[in-house]
Amino acid sequence: MITILTGPLVWLSLAVLLVGGAWRMITVRRAVKRDASAMAYLNGPGSLRSLAHWLVPFAALNMRQRPLVTIVSFAFHIGLLASPLFLLAHVILIRRAVGVQIPAWPDAVATVLVWMVVVGGLALAIRRATEPTVRYISTLRDWLALAIAVSPFVTGLVARHQLLAPELAVGLHVVTGCIWLASLPWTRLMHLFNFTFTRALMGSEYGHRNARDW
Amino acid sequence: MSKYPVNNPIDDTDLDEAVAALTREKIKAALDQVIDREASARLKIYQDTCVRCGLCASACHSYLSRDRDPRFAPVSKVKDTLWRLVRERENVTPADLREMAQIAYLECGTCRRCSQYCPFGIDIAHLMLTVRRVCHLLGLVPKYLQDTTDSHSATGNQMWIHQDEWIDTALWQEEDACDELAGARVPMEREGADIMYSVIAPEPKILAQLMGNMAVVMKAANLDWTYPDTDGWDNSNMAMYSGDFEVMGRIARKHWDTAMRLGVKRVVMGECGHAFRGAMYDGPRWLGFKQPPLPLVHAIEFYWDLLESGKVTIAKKFDTPVTVQDPCNTVRGQGLGGKLRDVINAMCSDFRDMNPNLEHNYCCNAGGGQINCGPPGKITRMTSARIKAEQLAATGAEICITPCHNCHSGIEDVVGHYDLKMKTKFLIDIMAECIQLPGAGNEGAED
């Protein structure tokens, strides 16, 4: 059972991710062709300085005005992106599957990264449920995205600490992980792909007019 | 929602009539046109990207002024208008559309402060302008705003000024300017002049002394300038904000064609933000120009250059405490905040900056077509202005410099409504008072 899950299911979800990502790129490119007036102004330096100010913690005014949200959000995203690929168990599976050896996080680092995601995700959920403005604008899709993003980390912890039967725990972990991968191009998690592009657009708008967008 | 006051619909008879005339077919046609054909790639990408984090909320003056009423966060305004239109299409009711028109025209001034707070840099103002485009196609434009667009369409300017009135006012101001400084002129239709100076309709209509003041400054600096005596002198371009992009393009084109016909080397734009935006970016984009065909210099930069180069010197500094309203279209939209402060510090001895300032200053509650919605919209605007009133009062200044016609009228309204002890002035008002006139000794200009 686990062999099927870690074998074909992973490949399937990776395929969905790749095909979906490609589809996104094609539709964006198609739309972009009709939006020449915005694309004509895309400019490198403006885009880069905008990206830099929004990728470095506290570099933008809004981040300084809400330190807690900034810390939680950065911790959550760093953990989310940095832990999966370099987790020892994943490194071993990848070596078995494709024969490539990638470095692994020391156990302590991996643990911290994973807890950053779980605690950060919980904090974001509390914010979404309690902050009146965020509540007002939240839809099912927003909750779904958060649930999908965090669930592999929760199930990973469950498996690691053997809170369920090993087969079941690992099975759940693999399934939630595959959902995570496959849903990236179709859910709110798409912002992973679009962030660079939207930031570049606004950075160019402000950049070529010599104003700051942070 | 009981914590927050009810947001009453504005009393606008044009909106009522337009709502009564709406049919499902008309709504479908307008939405098909905008969402399927006109709307840019950005609509789709922004819709996919927004994660509903609500971090744009605290950027918005209308939200802050209403005790953080969730309905007034920028993202909420998009959710309650455009995302609904995209999702429900022609199933939205005429009454829904009326509410959306009020949000898009009056509860957002398209100042773009929210884009500086959005982690993704989503151009929320652009999305609200897309809603206005739909409203325009359905005739759902607030009455007074539509009137300015109609005036632009018929006369080329915002306030139904006829050509003879334009010329007559210019000549009248030449006489007044001559009283200040012998030889001051208001040249019209001078082909090959260095500068075409561009004003907006409120100057000849209600603030003509600004034209006289500029004639004095031009003479003092010995500049070769001109107005056109034809249409094409006003680029305030309210059509840009009503959603009538066809008329917007026509106005921008007329303006640039006129400058090219006169063969000037550059266009200097008076203290107006809309005109600058229309001539600098929205107009040219609609026309498919990457850049305006001639250099365009806003008054702030023009004065900065006059002072920096020594063409104009200050006889005696203005000593009343002043603060400044940063106009969105020139400070956030063109990065002129630093030069604006240089100009003020060169002319004024007691400058008290606002907090927040520069690109982060709050909206004046007038621009982007808000004040042009006229008396029916005033209470809504003033409710949105509470944070501005507090910010103004905190400066302790007696004069608020407003280098933009909308900021000027908007701050005047805020000052009146919140009973602040403050007056508004344009930069040119202060410059005309403080300038060293040729042959006038060190006394400066007399009133």
Q: Is residue A38 part of a domain?
A: no
Q: Which of A56, A76, A186, A201 to mutate to test the interface with B (most CBs of B within 10 A)?
A: A201
* Residue B73 to residue A137, Cβ atoms within 8 A: yes
Nearest CB among A32, A35, A191 relative to B120 is that of A191
Q: Pick from B146, B155, B150, B189: which is nearest to B170 by CA?
A: B189
DSSP assignment letter at A62: H
pLDDT for residue B66 is more than 80: yes
Question: Are B153 and B288 found together in one domain?
Answer: yes
Does B334 share its domain with B250? no
Assess whether pLDDT exceeds 60 at residue A191.
yes
Residue A42, in any domain of the structure: no
Taking the CA of residue B236 and the nearest CA in chain A, the distance in Å comes to 20
Instruction: Kindly determine whether residue B55 and residue A203, on different chains, have CB atoms separated by under 8 Å.
Output: no
pLDDT at B2: 54
Query: Does residue A101 sit at the B interface (CB-CB below 8 Å)?
Result: no
Taking every pair of Cα atoms in chain B, the longest distance, rounded to a whole number of angstroms, is 72
Q: Do A194 and B360 touch (CB under 8 A)?
A: no
Q: What confidence score (pLDDT) does residue B7 get? A: 79
DSSP state of B241: H
Residue A214 domain-assigned?
no
Q: What is the pLDDT of residues A86-143, one digit of tens each?
A: 999 899 988 988 899 999 999 999 999 999 999 999 999 999 999 999 999 999 999 9
Residues of the domain holding A92: 2-27+56-207
Averaged pLDDT, B94-110: 96
Mean pLDDT of B123-132: 96
Residues of A in contact with B245 (CB under 8 A): none
Which residue, of B141, B161, B195, is where some domain finishes?
B141
Contact A203 B79 (CB under 8 A): no
Which one of A38, A202, A212 has the shortest CB-CB distance to B359?
A212
- Pair type for strands B399-401 and B423-425: parallel
Q: What is the pLDDT of residue A210?
A: 86
Location of structure tokens 């009522």: B16
Q: What is the pLDDT of residue A26?
A: 85
Q: Give DSSP secondary structure letters for B316-354.
A: S-B-S-EEE---IIIIITT--HHHHHHHHHHHBS-B---
Confidence of residue A29 (pLDDT cuts 50, 70, 90): confident
Please compute the mean of the pLDDT values over residues B35-44 and round it to a whole number. 84
Specify whether B350 is located in the same domain as B266.
Answer: no
Q: Which structural domain, as residue segments, surrounds residue B18?
A: 13-141
Cα angle A106-A190-A95, degrees, rounded to a multiple of 5: 35
Q: Is B313 domain-assigned? A: no
CA dihedral A175, A180, A182, A188 (to 10 degrees): 150
Q: Write down the residue that tokens 């999305």 correspond to.
A: B127
Identify whether A118 is part of a domain. yes
Check residue B241 and give its pLDDT.
Answer: 97
Tell me, what's the ipTM?
0.92
Residue B445 in any domain: the answer is no
Q: Do B68 and A35 touch (CB under 8 A)?
A: no
pLDDT above 70: residue B361 = yes
The tally of domains found in chain B comes to 3
CB contact under 8 Å between A209 and B334, yes or no, is yes
* Cα A210 to chain centroid, rounded: 31
Closest residue in B to A210 (Cα) is B335
**Token pair 């009709």: residue:** A34
Please report residues of A whose CB lies closer than 8 A to that of B40: 31, 34-35, 37-38
Model confidence at B1: pLDDT above 50: no
SS3 label, residue B398: coil
**What CATH number is attached to the domain comprising A180?**
1.20.950.20
Q: Quickly state the pLDDT bin for B105 (edges 50, 70, 90).
A: very high
Residue A62 covered by a domain? yes
Q: Do B42 and A205 touch (CB under 8 A)?
A: no
Contact state of A133 with B54 under an 8 Å Cβ cutoff: yes
Which chain B residue is nearest to residue A134, measuring alpha carbons?
A: B54
**Average pLDDT for B206-217:** 96
A37: confidence class by pLDDT, cuts 50, 70, 90:
confident
User: Of A26, A41, A133, which to mutate for an interface test with B (greatest number of B Cβ within 10 Å)?
Assistant: A133
Count of domains observed in chain A: 1
pLDDT given for residue B441 in this prediction? 52
Query: Considering only CB atoms, which chain A residues are within 8 Å of B76?
Result: 133, 136-137
What is the distance of C-alpha B189 from the center of its chain? 26
For residue B377, pLDDT over 90 is answered with yes
pLDDT tens per residue across span B290-330: 889 999 999 999 999 999 999 999 999 999 999 999 999 99
Bridge-based pairing of strands B225-226 and B195-198 is: parallel
Compute the mean pLDDT over every residue in chain B, rounded to the nearest whole number.
Answer: 94
For the segment B359-370, the average pLDDT, to the nearest whole number, is 96
CB hemisphere CA count around B373 (13 angstroms): 34
CATH number of the domain bearing residue B420? 3.40.50
Looking at the complex, report in whole angstroms how far the Cα of residue A202 sits from the nearest Cα belonging to chain B: 5
| Touching B: A residues 28-57, CB under 8 Å | 28, 31-32, 34-35, 37-38, 40-41, 50, 54
- Whether B296 and B366 map to the same domain: the answer is no
Q: Please state, for a pLDDT cut of 90, what percent of chain B lies above it.
A: 92
Q: How many CB pairs under 8 A join A and B?
A: 125
- Please write the tens of the pLDDT for every residue from B212-257: 999 999 999 999 999 999 999 998 999 999 999 999 999 999 999 9
Domain assignment of residue B51, yes or no = yes
pLDDT digits (tens, 9 = 90+) for B173-192: 999 999 999 999 999 999 99
Verify that B158 and B299 share a domain, yes or no. yes
Return the exposure string of B7-42: e unless at least 16 CB atoms fall within 10 Å of the residue's CB, then b.
beebebebbeebbeebeeeebeebbeebbeeebbbb
